[in-house]
């Protein structure tokens, strides 16, 4: 389980992909992003697990499975 | 023994690079020759030569046009053998030139009404490739979100695929990505509708492994690879990536490779050094993305693992194909960007190459990499071997004489992917470096009476002139490339080694460092000779740079820069001579 604080972005690959860009610049892909997080510019704290067994069409970074989140 | 082996491989690589360097003049088609007589030749002599051509060679020389009389330019039917024969004959004394009359062809654009949007197909010279081959008989597996048979895939042939996400035979697309990718490979073309595809006579095998939200498991993808190999796919395209290394995936790739399937994958969209999985596996051709200007797309991964680059959009440009709008399921011609879009351009060209008759995966890769438009300066390996060129690839494949060197396979399998210095830059990158080393030795030879030829001096010559330049070609997964560039740079190049461009920094490319080094090392006998060697090496490097690419920060790339380099080169030589002579009593 990891905790990431950062901003929500929408990346223009394919029909679009939701991303969490951490304060250190690391980009995580939010595959099956929770509806409440789907807003560009949200500053959030997300707790989740990295999913190494998944590949995606967006290829923007590691996939972060969201367990819980808090909008800051 | 190991050192000897590495040395042999190194020499082999250099020899191969030089022997394979072909001038531009070796390309092009012709079926007639131009004979341009010298202007001061008497008309009687011209008549005599024309009679010889008619009598001895059974040719019918004629003026090229009514305007050729004053220039005395004639054409005759003939091939390269005749060209060589005429050049060796007495005719050569009377002419300015005997040359191939190269054929320039206008190509016919397909009638797809939105074809003009597809800058990316123009970029890879698709039209010229289509004159020769359109991918007939080849099956391309699209491992993606599925493929829907939109109207602009109506004339495209499909073979049975599978939906590994929902475990069913029908592999329709519920996202839009896979259909777009399939469109790049084999969109129905010349059908008076929509847009075109690279290998439009190839067959599509739709394999769905990614869900509607765009993700899928490594196990499904590995199964799809095996399915493709077992069902006679010739090419696999994977516009997907991420995750870590997986033995299951690696085994599946090896299985398909051994069955002769060429596997192409996207390098990834993280803008980082190293391709992502599965592109970085050794048997996979990894594709980076370029934009409409031919520059690296801002998102594209680069560096270790990148084999080639192809259009993927970026910096405002998009790749246009027909796909579905997932919200309505209706067809739409959409502009997408990503290395996802670059990979199918390569997969399409692989289909053209395979259809031409070159089928072994290693040979296909060799054709792809040898036919690219090379990029002269690419220190970060943004482009792999270079920009994809469909027309050149098909032409090269038609020659059917591709040999893949075991040396390069060894390098590739060991992670030293795409050693541009040896393979791609070839003689272009190599010769200036050789000139710099030889030049530094020549300068040392000029003042040999004052020099003790030993290790300190030789080390200095190398450090100043070329550095351990072959290290610049090393790209290793997950390691930054900058240290290799620094180790591989000579002292004058150090100022631009970190930033990775080829414009010299005047603080480094000057007499400054040799002066400082000499002052610091003056009292150390070994150190002084290293400094003298460095000074000579820097002089050689500056002279060669002034001759071939005089680019210096703030001074541009013209006369100012050239003058600066030459003056500093002379100062370095003078400095070395002064230092060596001052100590000549002890030599």
Question: Using a CB-CB distance cutoff of 8 angstroms, which residues of chain A are in contact with residue B340?
Answer: 13-14, 57, 59
CB contact under 8 A, B340 and A13: yes
Annotated catalytic residue B144: yes
Q: Does B582 touch chain A (CB under 8 A)?
A: no
How far CA B177 is from CA of A50, B111, B151, B207, B332, in Å, comes to 24, 25, 16, 12, 12
Helix (H, G, I), strand (E, B) or coil at B292: coil
Alpha-carbon gap: B480 to the closest alpha carbon of chain A (Å): 17
Question: Cα B441–B445–B446 angle (5° rounding)?
Answer: 120
Question: Residues near B566 by Cβ (< 8 Å), separated by ≥ 6?
Answer: B542, B543, B546
Query: Which site among B174, B208, B214 would you substitute to test the A interface, given the most A Cβ atoms closer than 10 Å to its Cβ?
Result: B214
pLDDT for B22 beyond 60: no
Residues, chain B, total?
587
Identify whether the C-beta of residue B528 lies closer than 8 Å to the C-beta of residue B518: yes
The pLDDT assigned to B406 comes to 40
The pLDDT assigned to B4 comes to 39
The pLDDT assigned to A63 comes to 95
Global ipTM: 0.95
User: Average pLDDT in the B261-285 region?
Assistant: 95
Range in B46-50, B113-117, B127-131 with the lowest mean pLDDT: B46-50
Range in B53-57, B223-227, B262-266, B444-448 with the lowest mean pLDDT: B444-448
The pLDDT assigned to B470 comes to 66
Give the tokens for residue B127.
């039209």
CB contact under 8 A, B242 and A12: no
Identify whether the C-beta of residue B275 lies closer than 8 Å to the C-beta of residue B305: yes
Identify whether the C-beta of residue B276 lies closer than 8 Å to the C-beta of residue B246: no
pLDDT for B27 beyond 60: no
Q: Does B289 touch chain A (CB under 8 A)?
A: no
Query: What span, in angstroms and rounded, lies between the C-alpha atoms of B455 and B529?
Result: 9
Strand order in the sheet with B73-77: B62-63, B73-77, B30-37, B95-102
> Which among B144, B291, B378, B389 is annotated as catalytic?
B144
Q: Which of B218, B240, B337 sits opposite A57 (nearest CB)?
A: B240
CB contact under 8 A, B340 and A15: no
Alpha-carbon gap: A45 to the closest alpha carbon of chain B (Å): 22
The pLDDT assigned to B294 comes to 93
Question: Using a CB-CB distance cutoff of 8 angstroms, which residues of chain A are in contact with residue B145?
Answer: 57
How far CA B259 is from CA of B9, B123, B264, B360, B412, in Å, comes to 29, 32, 15, 9, 19
pLDDT for B586 beyond 80: no
Which class for B282: exposed (0-12), middle (13-18), buried (19 or more C-beta within 10 A)? middle
End-to-end, the C-alpha distance of chain A in Å comes to 20
- What whole-number percentage of chain A has pLDDT above 70? 100
The pLDDT assigned to B429 comes to 57
Q: Which of A14, A54, A62 sits opposite B177 (nearest CB)?
A: A14
Query: What span, in angstroms and rounded, lies between the C-alpha atoms of B82 and B267?
Result: 48
- Write the pLDDT tens digit of every residue in B554-572: 888 888 889 999 999 999 9
> Which among B340, B371, B490, B545 is annotated as catalytic?
B340
The pLDDT assigned to B25 comes to 38
Helix (H, G, I), strand (E, B) or coil at B232: coil
Question: Using a CB-CB distance cutoff of 8 angstroms, which residues of chain A are in contact with residue B215?
Answer: 31-32, 54-57, 63
Q: Does B216 touch chain A (CB under 8 A)?
A: yes
Residues, chain A, total?
72
The pLDDT assigned to B5 comes to 38
User: Tokens 């351990």 correspond to what residue?
Assistant: B468
Instruction: Tally the C-alpha atoms within 13 A of residue B445's C-alpha that lie toward its C-beta.
Output: 7
* pLDDT grade for B142, boundaries at 50, 70 and 90: very high
The pLDDT assigned to B559 comes to 86
DSSP string, B442-467: HHHHHTGGG---SHHHHHHHHHHHT-
* pLDDT grade for B67, boundaries at 50, 70 and 90: low
The pLDDT assigned to B104 comes to 58
* pLDDT grade for B14, boundaries at 50, 70 and 90: very low
Helix (H, G, I), strand (E, B) or coil at B389: coil
* pLDDT grade for B137, boundaries at 50, 70 and 90: very high
Q: Does A19 touch chain B (CB under 8 A)?
A: no
End-to-end, the C-alpha distance of chain B in Å comes to 36
Query: What span, in angstroms and rounded, lies between the C-alpha atoms of B497 and A34?
Result: 45
Q: Does A22 touch chain B (CB under 8 A)?
A: no
Residues 480-519 of B with CB under 8 A from A: none
Give the tokens for residue B511.
């007499």
Picking from B145, B206, B184, the residue whose alpha carbon sits closest to that of residue B341 is B184
- Write the pLDDT tens digit of every residue in B159-207: 999 999 999 999 999 999 999 999 999 999 999 999 999 999 999 999 9
Alpha-carbon gap: B312 to the closest alpha carbon of chain A (Å): 11
- Write the pLDDT tens digit of every residue in A34-53: 999 999 999 999 999 999 99
Query: Which site among B164, B180, B239, B243 would you substitute to test the A interface, given the most A Cβ atoms closer than 10 Å to its Cβ?
Result: B243
Q: Does A13 touch chain B (CB under 8 A)?
A: yes
Give the tokens for residue B207.
């394999």
- Specify the higher pLDDT residue, B20 or B142: B142
Helix (H, G, I), strand (E, B) or coil at B272: coil
The pLDDT assigned to B494 comes to 82
The pLDDT assigned to B66 comes to 65
Identify whether the C-beta of residue A44 lies closer than 8 Å to the C-beta of residue A5: yes
By C-alpha distance, the chain A residue nearest B271 is A60
- Specify the higher pLDDT residue, B471 or B208: B208
Q: Does B148 touch chain A (CB under 8 A)?
A: no
Annotated catalytic residue B173: no
How far CA B432 is from CA of B186, B296, B375, B429, in Å, comes to 43, 26, 16, 7
Strand partners, A71: A44
Give the tokens for residue B367.
């054709």
The pLDDT assigned to B125 comes to 95
Phi and psi (nearest 5°) for B507? Answer: -70, -35
- Write the pLDDT tens digit of every residue in B378-407: 889 999 999 999 999 998 888 764 444 443
User: Tokens 């004489």 correspond to what residue?
Assistant: B401
The pLDDT assigned to B441 comes to 80
Give the tokens for residue B188.
């129905």
The pLDDT assigned to B259 comes to 96
CB contact under 8 A, A59 and B266: yes
| Mean pLDDT estimate for chain B | 84
H/E element, B5 = helix B2-19
Alpha-carbon gap: B211 to the closest alpha carbon of chain A (Å): 9
CA B231 to chain centre: 32
Helix (H, G, I), strand (E, B) or coil at B509: coil
- Write the pLDDT tens digit of every residue in B450-497: 777 777 888 888 888 877 766 766 677 777 777 777 777 888 888 877
- Write the pLDDT tens digit of every residue in A19-32: 999 999 999 999 99
CB contact under 8 A, A57 and B217: no
């Amino acid at each position: 389980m990891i905790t990431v604080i950062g901003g929500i972005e929408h990346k223009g690959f394919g029909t679009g992909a939701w991303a969490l860009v951490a304060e250190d610049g690391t980009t995580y892909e939010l595959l099956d992003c929770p509806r409440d997080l789907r807003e560009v510019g949200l500053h959030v704290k997300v707790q989740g697990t990295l999913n190494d067994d998944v590949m995606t069409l967006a290829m923007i970074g590691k996939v972060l499975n969201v367990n819980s989140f808090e909008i800051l | 023994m190991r050192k000897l082996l590495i040395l042999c491989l190194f020499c082999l690589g250099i020899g191969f690079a030089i022997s394979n360097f072909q001038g531009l003049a070796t390309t092009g088609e012709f079926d007639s020759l131009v004979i341009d007589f010298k202007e001061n030749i008497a008309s009687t002599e011209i008549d005599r030569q024309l009679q010889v051509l008619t009598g001895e060679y059974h040719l019918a020389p004629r003026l090229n046009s009514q305007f050729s009389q004053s220039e005395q330019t004639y054409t005759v039917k003939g091939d390269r053998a005749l060209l060589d024969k005429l050049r060796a004959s007495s005719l050569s004394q009377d002419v300015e030139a005997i040359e191939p009359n190269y054929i320039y062809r206008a190509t016919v654009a397909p009638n797809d009404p939105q074809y003009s949007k597809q800058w990316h197909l123009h970029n890879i010279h698709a039209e010229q490739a289509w004159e020769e081959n359109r991918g007939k008989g080849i099956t391309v597996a699209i491992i993606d979100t599925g493929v829907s048979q939109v109207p602009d895939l109506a004339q495209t042939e499909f073979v049975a695929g599978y939906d590994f996400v929902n475990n069913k035979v029908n592999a329709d697309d519920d996202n839009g990505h896979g259909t777009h990718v399939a469109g790049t490979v084999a969109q129905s073309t010349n059908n008076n509708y929509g847009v075109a595809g690279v290998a439009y006579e190839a067959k599509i095998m739709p394999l769905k492994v990614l869900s509607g939200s765009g993700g899928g498991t490594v196990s499904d993808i590995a199964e799809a690879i095996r399915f493709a190999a077992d069902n006679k796919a010739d090419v696999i395209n994977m516009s997907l990536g991420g995750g870590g290394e997986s033995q299951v995936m690696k085994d599946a790739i090896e299985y398909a490779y051994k069955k002769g399937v060429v596997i192409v994958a996207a390098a990834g969209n993280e803008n980082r050094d190293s391709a992502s999985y599965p592109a970085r596996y050794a048997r996979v051709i990894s594709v980076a993305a370029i934009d409409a200007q031919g520059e690296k797309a801002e998102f594209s991964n680069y560096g270790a693992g990148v084999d080639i680059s192809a259009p993927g959009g970026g910096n405002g440009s998009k790749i246009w194909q027909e796909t579905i709008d997932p919200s309505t399921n209706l067809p739409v011609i959409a502009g997408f960007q990503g290395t996802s879009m670059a990979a199918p351009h390569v997969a399409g060209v692989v289909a053209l190459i395979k259809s031409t008759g070159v089928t072994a995966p290693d040979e296909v890769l060799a054709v792809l990499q040898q036919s690219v438009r090379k990029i002269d300066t690419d220190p970060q390996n943004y482009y792999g071997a270079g920009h994809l060129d469909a027309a050149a690839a098909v032409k090269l494949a038609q020659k059917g004489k591709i040999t893949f060197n075991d040396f390069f396979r060894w390098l590739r399998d060991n992670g030293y992917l795409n050693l541009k210095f040896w393979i791609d830059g070839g003689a272009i990158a190599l010769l200036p470096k050789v000139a710099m080393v030889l030049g530094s030795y020549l300068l040392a030879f000029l003042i040999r009476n004052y020099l003790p030829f030993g290790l300190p001096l030789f080390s200095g010559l190398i450090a100043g002139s070329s550095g351990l330049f072959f290290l610049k070609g090393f790209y290793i997964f997950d390691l930054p490339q900058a240290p290799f560039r620094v180790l591989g740079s000579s002292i004058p190049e150090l100022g631009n080694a970190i930033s990775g461009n080829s414009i010299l920094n005047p603080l480094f490319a000057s007499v400054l460092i040799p002066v400082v080094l000499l002052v610091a090392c003056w009292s150390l006998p070994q150190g002084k000779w290293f400094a003298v060697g460095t000074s000579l090496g820097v002089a050689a490097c500056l002279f060669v740079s002034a001759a071939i690419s005089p680019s210096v920060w703030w001074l541009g790339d013209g006369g100012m820069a050239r003058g600066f380099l030459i003056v500093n080169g002379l100062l370095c030589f003078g400095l070395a001579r002064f230092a060596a002579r001052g100590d000549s009593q002890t030599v």
